[in-house]
Amino acid sequence: MGRFLRGRRGNMGFWALVIALVFLPMGTLVIDAPRLYVTSIRLQSAVDAAAEAAARCVDVAWYQDTGETRPDAACAEAEAQRYFTLTAPASSGVRSTFAGITVDESADSVSATGTAEVDVFFLHVPVHMNRTAVTSFRMAQE
């Protein structure tokens, strides 16, 4: 029994198992965790830009006639889509999609939503992210 405990035969198999089950998944986390974090930040920035762009599309003619603010729906959707596309995260294994805007005229706010799907390195399973940004639209009285 003592010779078995002091022997070094079989060490290669043990270390191969440790590397395969412990160190390889930890190594892929070193790649995937920062990538997911950066994608999340870029997606939030793109959604923020889309909401701000949509909020700038106020129906000026309606405001001049009534003094109330309301968004120009066609302009808001088009501008939000354009700004999201310009700033959305785009890299290999990342798919960003603009989900659209929602206008709440009672609160004078616009919310924009976007999603991203990121392929992780180790399991080849996509990670889904959803982000939303809300901003106000208003015209300054002169």
For the chain (length 142 residues), average pLDDT per consecutive 10?
Answer: 60 78 78 88 94 87 82 89 90 89 85 92 80 78 46
State the maximum Cα–Cα separation within the chain, in Å, rounded to a whole number: 97
Provide the pLDDT for residue 71: 82
Check residue 9 and give its pLDDT.
64
Q: Would you give the end-to-end CA distance of the chain in angstroms?
A: 94
CA–CA dist 55, 88 (Å, integer): 18
pLDDT of res. 83: 94
Read off the pTM: 0.76
In this prediction, residue 4 carries a pLDDT of 55
Beta strands in the chain (DSSP E): 94-104, 109-119, 126-136
Listed in sequence order, the residues at least 6 apart from 119 whose beta carbon sits closer than 8 Å to its beta carbon are 93, 94, 125, 126, 127
Q: Compute the distance between CA of residue 120 and CA of residue 140 in angstroms, rounded to an integer.
A: 47
Interstrand relation of 126-136 and 109-119 (parallel, antiparallel or unpaired): antiparallel
Amino acid at 7: G
pLDDT of residue 139: 54
